[in-house]
Amino acid sequence: MYIRVKKVKRGDKTYEYAHLVNGQWKKRRIKTIEGKRTYKQYNNSVHKYKGIIGKVYRLEKIKEIELNFYDLIMQKNVEEIYNILIENELKKRGFEENKGILIKDNLHADLKRLIIHDGKKDAVIKLQEKSGYLCSKTLEELHKIKNINGRYEGLQLLKKLRMIGIKLKPEEFYLLAQKMVKN
């Protein structure tokens, strides 16, 4: 599954909304003509619409915050590490913490309940130039990964981190993966 963003015009303003889409690949059909096997060429991907996630809010970095990643890995468990990484990205964009909830203008991020909303409905926060969509769905997907047993699961973790918008250096990702393999 992935997120697709569509623009909607209302009057003079243009809004962006994120949709959840499931991509499926079809096999090419084998066709035999005069004893020779040929493949019928056509678009192999089919996209199935799953539903709307919410309005997209694009936020730029306001400040740079350093994070001691080595100490973080050694002292915290995996879920706490995820939450601290996400909290760090949000604080770089001007979010302030109030009673365990990160708030900026009308956007609220509750990392304990894994909810991102704009006061009324679910919302999506765009953290990076390419991909990087932080919403309730992507938070749930990331928090499903508790440990790593092989290469495929490690690649899934990297994919989920990038989908949310968390960029780790190779050494940092290696430390995180190493901790998750031990558990």
43 burial level (CB within 10 Å; 0-12, 13-18, 19+): exposed
Residues 6+ apart with CB under 8 A from 115: 108, 109, 122, 136, 139
Q: What are 49-82's pLDDT values in tens digits?
A: 889 999 999 999 999 988 888 999 999 999 999 9
167-177, pLDDT tens digit by residue?
999 999 999 99
134 strand-pairing partners: 125
- Structural domain spans, the chain: 2-57, 60-182
Q: What is the pTM assigned to this prediction?
A: 0.83
Residue 44 — very low, low, confident or very high, per pLDDT cuts 50/70/90?
A: low
The helix-helix angle for 78-92 and 170-182 (nearest 10°) equals 150
